[in-house]
Amino acid sequence: MAQYFTEVDGIIFTEGNLEGKVLGPIKEFGATQNTVLGDVKKLMAAKARMMGGNAVINFTYTQKADRGMHLFKWDRERLNCSGVVVLLSEDPRKDKS
């Protein structure tokens, strides 16, 4: 199965696993129900860069309901994104032939 990559602000995202120096887990949430995935990835990219990484592997995202009482809040669901920040020694998208 082919591995797919996206790049946001210089950080590579993939849902798969890659070999690299593991720097730690990362998690970010959308501000509201209609937050665009790209906006959350920008936040994650900034955090990954601050951690010294150049990629987020095992990237997952779901839309989950907020916990707790929200008597005056209409949008109770938001994006939950997570992954693992790594430092790659080479770009996995480059052709190795």
The arithmetic mean of pLDDT across residues 23-48, rounded, is 93
Burial class (CB in 10 A: 0-12, 13-18, 19+), 65: exposed
Predicted model pTM? 0.84
Which whole-number Å values give the CA distances from 79 to 37, 56, 70, in the listed order?
A: 7, 17, 17
User: So what's the architecture of 6-67+77-87 in CATH?
Assistant: 2-Layer Sandwich (3.30)
Q: Is the pLDDT of residue 69 over 60?
A: no
Structural domain boundaries of the chain? 6-67+77-87
What tokens appear for 40 in the block?
């959350």
